[in-house]
Amino acid sequence: MNLVFLGPPGAGKGTMAVRVAEHFSIPHISTGDIFRANIKGETELGKKVKAILDAGNLVPDELTIDLVRDRLTKPDAQNGYILDGFPRTIPQADALAGFSTVTKALNFVLVDEEVVKRLSGRRVHPGSGRTYHVLFSPPKVADTDDVTGEPLVIRPDDQEDAIRNRLEVYRKQTEPLIEYYQSKNLLVDIDSSPAPDAVFKTVLNALS
Ligand code: ADP
Ligand code: ADP
């Protein structure tokens, strides 16, 4: 099962990807997580992309495509994968079609007002990528990761200015992928507005 998760930033793609990955024992591949790990580790790639992520712009296609092409050659991705946050442009989708066959594209649908609420309350554990929300899925102890006890942070791109820019970038560059996958009969819309357990049920139905 080779899955692509589409949808605006904050729609809940990562939250569902973690559950789906566990359920089907396939890897959750988040290009955003990979970039953030490189930024944290101060690698060459991290230095190149930090300012781009902070502003909420897209990393250049060639760089992102090479990264994903390489990741999909790893043994754990041979029986399926979830791509969360890739492709984000038509050239990325075309490139993906050249090196892998997508089985389904799930499109997580959420109105902007809810997107902003989700992004502005998001807290993350930088070490693991675990994601919380101050109201909708709070940690056991405020601002603290449940597993490690380490502090949670607000992503730089979850500040108001960057959120606005990311939504614009999404509209212009990523939304056309909905039609792209629709025209290939691979698209399934998922209403992302209910609570996570309900969204997860919808996702499992869509995949059965
Ligand atoms: P994305 O990967 O699409 O950017 P996330 O999975 O990081 O989205 O979710 C964004 C924020 O919304 C997080 O704080 C997460 O805890 C919260 N969230 C995710 N799914 C839901 C849901 N179904 N209902 C309420 N909040 C949610
Ligand atoms: P969200 O789901 O909340 O939008 P992600 O973690 O998927 O955030 O992505 C964070 C940032 O990483 C994006 O704003 C962009 O700068 C970069 N990024 C992630 N995936 C891609 C991609 N496929 N192409 C270009 N840039 C990307």
Average pLDDT over residues 112-135: 94
pLDDT for res 118: 97
Q: Give burial (CB, 10 Å; 0-12/13-18/19+) of 46.
A: middle
Tell me the helix, strand and coil percentages in the chain, rounded to 5. 50, 15, 35
Residue 73, classed as helix, strand or coil, is coil
Average pLDDT over residues 33-52: 96
Average pLDDT over residues 13-21: 97
For residue range 65-98, what is the model confidence (pLDDT) as tens digits?
Answer: 999 999 999 999 999 999 999 999 999 999 999 9
What does the domain layout of the chain look like in residue ranges? 2-201
- 128, pLDDT greater than 90: no
Q: What is the mean pLDDT of the chain?
A: 96
Query: CATH 3.40.50.300: does it fit domain 2-201?
Result: yes
- 129, pLDDT greater than 90: no
Residue pair 131/122 in contact by the 8 Å Cβ criterion: yes
Task: Spot the catalytic one: 36, 122, 123, 130.
Answer: 122
Residue pair 49/35 in contact by the 8 Å Cβ criterion: yes
Report the C-alpha gap between 77 and 81 in whole angstroms: 6
Site of tokens 């869509």: 206
pLDDT for res 171: 97
Average pLDDT over residues 131-146: 97
From the CB of 133, is ligand 2 less than 6 Å away? Answer: no
pLDDT for res 10: 96
Cα atoms found within 13 Å of the Cα of residue 42, Cβ hemisphere only: 0
Q: Report which bound ligand comes closest to the CA of 110.
A: 1
Nearest ligand 1 atom to the CA of 15 is 6
pTM of the entire predicted model: 0.96
Active site annotation includes 184:
no
pLDDT for res 20: 98
For residue range 143-192, what is the model confidence (pLDDT) as tens digits?
Answer: 999 999 999 999 999 998 899 999 999 999 999 999 999 999 999 999 99
pLDDT for res 60: 98
